[in-house]
Structures are given as structure tokens and as C-alpha cells.
């Protein structure tokens, strides 16, 4: 193998599994250390810079970081990254002084943002401080998009959302709420320099089976139903409720139903438990509220008496995999009838762009989705950019934020007349953490504690009032202990080949046996020859140049390195050093010259 190029920011970025997995690449270990140091405000700002909605995400994020967390590979459970983020938000104090300020004179250009969800708000956050004049349009009375209409208040209190939406709107954004944009063509005719479409995926999928039309009065589309509850158009539901679907929307629907008078609430899912789209913790929370999840039941018909819904009939299926690994739901012949007063359909959502004309130079492709460049987020009409669920279909908040950052870079460059495909390089620092013989400027000792559960409010209290937040969040003491579970994967093991005397001190001390010295070979061969075979192929091997004394190379399997720093402590010559790696995604307004390395 060739020696690893650690000057490539992406190499060490990939070692920070949580940050790498995060669509917005939030520097997770960096803010977790700040939480451990009780520097909550700074921890909040590290988050805010990267993901704009730390308080919201600390409660609702899909947390792709946690399955990626290295700790999950050596311990039973990963670090509770998401809930630590909430600790930063809960304890941040007054951060107004750290917030950017938009210049009074806006001379960069005029920008329209359509939809006031996380993607648009991120674009606004990035462009307003640069001096853009920004018009924000939404048909709802308040900003927040799906964060407000879809996430129940018992998971996300409105004050939290209002504050973080406010941080953005306070940057001098011109707000046009209760304003439905019914023609993109008309917006294009106004002299905006660039337009961003962040209108989400607003159409809930329906279920066309017999009885659907007749029983319509008591059959609801999940996302519309949640929005009606959120905006208090609706405050009651029948005693017996069936929720159809296995995603997170279904979980929100069933838990909301429990709070609106639903006593017998069931979730019925076509597929088996393992294939459900809902996050495991959301399923757990639903089950904890006495909601059974019934799998392998395919809805067959809505049963009604003279238009009054009485229940739903299901076909029970077996899940069968053929030789090609394709899944098939094979009816067992059994049918089941569940009584219901209301049915909520939460089986997916689609994009819909009835307000975008098809003759304005904006091309639509597969599934009637606009054709969008996945890097620049530019549509085929160069003035129009997309992001969030509107770009590539339903995802989640953190993905929408990541899109917003990238779209803002493109819009800024487009308006300045620069090439949108020339992307700014990330900001990277790599600094030694050595303070003394056994002293590092990070807590290198590895905590052996198990993951701490987040305390919940008493169930009867929670079910009585829709507005009572269920999760209480970690207190500071528990947050510290949870933060100490972080392995500091951003403190990198940097190997300096020239200094190594091949004493094997690092090999002997490494608790997870990830360091090796052996003759060089092809990667596939090396992976099998290490002390512990490196069979996690998506985890890289760190390979040095040939060593002076034996001509061997150092090969480190990054997979389960604990970043404990013992290799560096046991190294007599400082050939190993622990260096803190900070990777920051560059935001709009930075020049691209750095990218030409």
C-alpha cells in the first residue's frame, strides 16, 4: 500500500466516525469535550455554526452519528450524542453576543427563500451575515416548516423551536408568512438574484383500498393530521385508533392520538419489525405508552356502516426471501379485523410542485422531481436552487441543514459570478495535545460506564397533556459522565515515520491490538496479516512509509482504536503523537483558493 496521506482532510475526517456520518459534519467530539468542561455556551455555538438548530436536533435528530459511533464497536451502546447536544442547548445561557450580525446595508444581492423550514432557514443564516437581502415566504403563520407542524410538542416544545428560528429571523430576514407562493414563474419575474426552494415533501401518501372514500370522515393522512393538531385545529380523536405505517411519522401519530383521547391505539405495519423505518428509540417510546406495534398485517379494506368507519380488515402475511434476497409478503390466508373509530395513514410522503410551471427552464426528471445537481443544489434554471426534502425527497432535519449550507455556498458564488462547481475546502486544524509525560490536554482515560438513559416524565402526566415534554434531558452531572464516555476520536494518532526506532512499545501496549509492523503488501493481503484481521472494510488502514531499520511499514487499523494515547505515551521518541483534528465544513462567503492544494 502507499503511505497514507494524512494531509488529505478526508482521511482523519473519516476516523471521526460520528462527524463523518453526520450530513452536516458537526464536530461532535469537540462539543462533547466542551460539555464535559461545563462550557455549554461554546458547545452550543460549535453546534449552531454547523447545524443551526441544536436545541431542536438535540431532541429530534435521526442521529446517524450514533450508529456510527466507535464506542458502539467496543462497548454495548454508543455515546448518547444527540441527548448531549440537548444539554448544550439547555444550559447555554445567553449566547446573543456570539451570534453573527447582518450588516445594515445589504448590497450583495436579493434572494428569495420559498418555504420556511430548516433548509431555507439555514440558507438565510448563511447568507444574511454576508449582506444579502432575504425574502422568506411560507404559507404557515410561523416559521419552522415540518419542525413545527410534524414534530409533536411533547417531543419538541415550541419555545425551543421559537428561540432557534428566532436566531435566524433576527438577522434581518424579511418575513412573508401566510403567503402561499402559487407560481415560481412569478417569483422569477421579480428581480431576485437567486431563489431557493425549500418547500419540503408536503403530500402524505394515501391508501386506495375499498372503503377509503366511503369512510373518509374518519380516515386521516398522518402529516396533515399532525399539522392540524400542531396548529390546534383539532384536539380530539376517537377512543379506538389505528395508525397504519411503520415510520417515525406513524410513531408521532400514535403517541399524539394517545394524548387526544385515544385509549386503544394500535400501530399496524405491513412489514416485519426489522424493516420498519422508524428509529428504534421512537418505537420504544411508543411501546412505553401502551401502544402495540402489530407487524406483517397488510390493510385490505376499510370497513364501514353507512359511511361510518367501524374498523379495518387486514391480511396477515409471512415475510419470505427468495434466493436473490428479494423480500415478498406472502398471505397466510388468515384475515384479521381491528375495530377503530379513527384511522391515521402514515405510510410515506411525496413531493408535489403544482406551483412550479413546466415552461420556465426548470427541468423535471424521474418521479416528477426537479433535476438537481447533488453537489451544488442548482436546478437546470441556474437562478433556482433546491434543498431539504424538496431536493431529493423526504429525509430529515439534519440533511436539510446540510443541503442549506451547500446551497448557500452555490447561491453566493452564483451571484458573485463565480463557478458554483468550485467548492471551498474544509477548514482543518491538527494540533498536538501533549502537555507532559503522561498528560494530555484531553481526558484520554477511557470511561467504562454504560450509556445513561434519559429520564422521562411520569407517564400518566405525559399522557394527560399533549404539551408536557416527555424527555427531561440529562442533568449536568449525568451529562458529564455521559460526555466522558466519548472516546475523543478527533484526537488523532499521528505517526512520524522518521522518529520510530521499532521498539514495539506501542504494539505491546495497544489495548485493541490495532498497531502492527510488518512488510508492506497490497491492502487486501495486509488486512489479513495484521495481529487482528482488519475485516471492517469501510474502516481505513493507516500505513506509514518504509521504516529505516527493517524496511517494514507501520499499519494501524483505525476500526477500534480507543484514542487512549497509550501508543504515544509508550513511544520513547515521540514517533506517535496525539493531535486534535478539527474539521469544519466551510460555509458561504469563504474564498475557494484554499481548495487548490
Question: At closest approach, how far in Å is the CB of 505 from another protein?
Answer: 5
Question: At closest approach, how far in Å is the CB of 150 from another protein?
Answer: 38
Intra-chain end-to-end CA distance of the chain, in Å: 23
276 with 348: CB under 8 angstroms? no
571 with 392: CB under 8 angstroms? no
Question: At closest approach, how far in Å is the CB of 559 from another protein?
Answer: 9
Question: At closest approach, how far in Å is the CB of 449 from another protein?
Answer: 12
188 with 149: CB under 8 angstroms? no
- Give whichever of 471 and 540 is closer to another protein, judged by the CB atom: 540
Residues in touch with another protein (CB under 8 A): 73-75, 438-440, 444-446, 448, 501-505, 507-509, 511-514, 532-533, 535, 548-550, 560, 562, 564-566, 569-573
Question: At closest approach, how far in Å is the CB of 525 from another protein?
Answer: 17
- Give whichever of 401 and 575 is closer to another protein, judged by the CB atom: 575
Instruction: Give the position of cell 408536503.
Output: 202
- Mapped onto helix, strand or coil, the DSSP state of residue 6 is coil
Tell me the Ramachandran region of residue 377: left when phi exceeds 0, alpha when psi lies from -120 to 50, beta otherwise: left
Question: At closest approach, how far in Å is the CB of 444 from another protein?
Answer: 4
Distance (Å) of CA 359 to CA 326, 367, 573? 40, 18, 68
Question: At closest approach, how far in Å is the CB of 446 from another protein?
Answer: 4
- DSSP letter at 543? E
- Give whichever of 334 and 504 is closer to another protein, judged by the CB atom: 504
Question: At closest approach, how far in Å is the CB of 484 from another protein?
Answer: 12
Number of H helices, E strands in the chain: 22, 23
- Give whichever of 496 and 532 is closer to another protein, judged by the CB atom: 532
Choose among 519, 490, 493: nearest CA to 506. 493
Question: At closest approach, how far in Å is the CB of 67 from another protein?
Answer: 15
47 with 85: CB under 8 angstroms? yes
Cell of 468: 408536557
Measured over all CA atoms, what is the biggest interatomic distance in the chain, rounded to whole angstroms? 89
Choose among 98, 96, 91, 140: nearest CA to 120. 140
Cα 581 → chain centroid = 22
- Give whichever of 375 and 546 is closer to another protein, judged by the CB atom: 546
Burial of 96 (0-12, 13-18, 19+ CB in 10 A): exposed
Question: At closest approach, how far in Å is the CB of 402 from another protein?
Answer: 31
**Rounded distance, CA 297 to CA 266, Å?**
12
- Give whichever of 272 and 502 is closer to another protein, judged by the CB atom: 502
**Rounded distance, CA 69 to CA 75, Å?**
10
489 with 70: CB under 8 angstroms? yes
- Give whichever of 110 and 499 is closer to another protein, judged by the CB atom: 499
Query: What's the full length of the chain, in residues?
Result: 597
Cell of 514: 490495532
Q: What does 388-415 look like in DSSP terms, one character per residue?
A: THHHHS---HHHHHHHHHHHHHHHHHHH
- Give whichever of 98 and 525 is closer to another protein, judged by the CB atom: 525
- Give whichever of 398 and 487 is closer to another protein, judged by the CB atom: 487
Tell me the Ramachandran region of residue 245: left when phi exceeds 0, alpha when psi lies from -120 to 50, beta otherwise: left
- Mapped onto helix, strand or coil, the DSSP state of residue 268 is strand
Question: At closest approach, how far in Å is the CB of 294 from another protein?
Answer: 35
Question: At closest approach, how far in Å is the CB of 549 from another protein?
Answer: 5
597 with 510: CB under 8 angstroms? no
- Give whichever of 368 and 536 is closer to another protein, judged by the CB atom: 536
Question: At closest approach, how far in Å is the CB of 496 from another protein?
Answer: 15
- Give whichever of 415 and 500 is closer to another protein, judged by the CB atom: 500
Query: What residues does 436 pair with on adjacent strands?
Result: 439
Question: At closest approach, how far in Å is the CB of 445 from another protein?
Answer: 6
- Give whichever of 208 and 549 is closer to another protein, judged by the CB atom: 549
Distance (Å) of CA 81 to CA 18, 60, 283? 9, 12, 19
- Give whichever of 329 and 509 is closer to another protein, judged by the CB atom: 509
- Give whichever of 509 and 592 is closer to another protein, judged by the CB atom: 509
497 CB-side CA count, 13 A? 20
Amino acid at each position: 500500500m502507499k503511505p497514507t496521506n494524512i494531509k488529505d482532510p478526508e482521511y482523519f475526517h473519516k476516523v471521526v466516525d460520528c462527524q463523518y456520518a453526520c450530513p452536516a459534519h458537526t464536530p461532535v467530539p469537540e462539543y462533547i469535550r466542551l460539555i464535559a468542561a461545563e462550557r455549554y455556551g461554546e458547545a452550543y455555538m460549535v453546534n449552531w455554526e454547523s447545524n443551526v438548530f441544536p436545541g431542536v436536533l438535540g431532541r429530534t435528530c435521526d442521529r446517524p452519528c450514533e450508529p456510527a459511533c466507535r464506542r458502539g464497536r467496543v462497548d454495548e451502546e454508543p455515546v448518547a450524542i444527540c441527548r448531549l447536544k440537548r444539554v448544550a442547548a439547555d444550559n447555554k445561557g445567553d449566547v446573543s453576543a456570539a451570534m453573527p450580525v447582518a450588516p445594515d446595508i445589504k448590497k450583495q444581492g436579493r434572494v428569495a427563500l420559498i418555504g420556511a423550514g430548516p433548509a431555507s432557514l439555514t440558507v438565510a443564516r448563511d447568507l444574511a451575515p454576508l449582506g444579502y437581502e432575504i425574502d422568506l415566504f411560507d404559507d404557515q403563520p410561523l416559521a419552522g416548516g415540518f419542525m413545527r407542524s410534524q414534530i409533536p410538542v411533547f417531543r419538541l416544545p415550541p419555545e425551543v423551536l421559537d428561540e432557534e428560528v428566532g436566531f435566524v429571523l433576527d438577522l434581518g430576514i424579511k418575513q412573508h408568512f401566510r403567503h402561499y407562493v402559487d407560481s415560481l414563474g412569478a417569483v422569477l419575474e421579480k428581480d431576485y438574484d437567486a431563489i431557493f426552494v425549500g418547500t419540503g415533501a408536503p403530500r402524505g401518501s394515501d391508501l386506495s383500498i375499498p372503503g377509503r372514500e366511503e369512510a373518509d370522515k374518519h380516515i386521516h393522512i398522518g402529516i396533515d393530521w399532525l399539522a392540524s393538531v400542531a396548529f390546534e385545529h383539532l384536539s380530539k380523536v376517537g377512543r379506538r385508533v389505528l395508525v397504519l405505517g411503520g415510520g417515525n411519522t406513524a410513531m408521532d401519530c400514535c403517541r399524539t392520538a394517545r394524548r387526544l383521547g385515544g385509549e386503544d391505539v394500535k400501530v399496524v405495519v405491513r412489514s416485519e419489525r426489522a424493516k420498519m423505518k422508524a428509529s428504534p428509540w421512537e418505537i420504544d417510546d411508543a411501546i412505553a405508552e401502551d401502544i402495540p406495534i402489530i407487524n406483517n398485517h397488510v390493510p385490505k379494506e376499510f370497513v364501514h356502516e353507512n359511511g361510518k368507519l367501524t374498523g379495518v380488515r387486514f391480511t396477515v402475511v409471512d415475510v419470505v426471501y427468495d434466493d436473490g434476497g428479494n423480500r415478498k409478503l406472502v398471505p397466510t390466508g388468515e384475515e384479521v379485523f381491528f375495530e377503530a373509530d379513527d384511522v391515521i395513514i402514515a405510510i410515506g410522503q411525496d413531493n408535489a410542485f403544482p406551483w412550479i410551471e413546466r415552461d420556465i427552464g426548470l427541468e423535471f426528471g424521474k418521479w416528477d422531481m426537479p433535476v438537481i445537481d447533488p453537489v451544488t443544489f442548482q436546478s437546470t434554471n441556474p437562478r433556482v436552487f433546491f434543498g431539504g426534502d424538496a431536493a431529493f425527497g423526504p429525509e430529515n432535519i439534519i440533511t436539510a441543514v446540510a443541503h442549506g449550507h451547500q446551497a448557500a455556498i452555490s447561491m453566493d458564488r452564483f451571484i458573485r459570478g463565480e463557478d458554483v462547481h468550485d467548492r471551498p475546502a474544509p477548514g482543518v486544524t491538527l494540533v498536538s495535545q501533549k502537555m507532559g509525560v503522561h498528560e494530555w490536554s484531553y481526558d484520554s482515560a477511557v470511561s467504562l460506564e454504560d450509556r445513561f438513559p434519559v429520564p422521562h416524565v411520569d407517564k400518566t402526566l405525559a399522557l394527560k397533556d399533549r404539551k408536557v415534554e416527555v424527555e427531561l434531558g440529562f442533568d449536568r452531572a449525568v451529562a458529564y459522565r455521559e460526555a466522558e464516555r466519548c472516546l475523543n476520536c478527533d484526537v488523532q494518532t499521528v505517526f512520524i515515520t522518521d522518529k520510530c526506532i521499532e521498539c514495539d512499545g506501542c504494539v505491546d501496549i495497544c489495548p485493541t491490538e490495532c498497531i502492527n509492523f510488518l512488510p508492506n503488501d497490497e491492502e487486501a493481503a495486509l488486512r489479513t496479516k495484521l495481529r487482528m484481521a482488519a475485516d471492517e472494510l469501510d474502516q481505513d488502514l493507516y500505513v506509514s512509509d518504509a521504516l529505516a531499520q527493517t524496511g517494514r511499514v507501520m499499519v494501524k487499523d483505525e476500526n477500534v482504536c480507543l484514542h487512549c494515547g497509550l501508543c504515544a505515551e509508550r513511544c520513547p521518541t515521540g514517533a506517535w503523537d496525539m493531535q486534535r483534528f478539527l474539521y469544519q465544513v466551510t460555509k458561504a462567503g469563504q474564498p475557494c483558493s484554499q481548495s487548490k492544494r
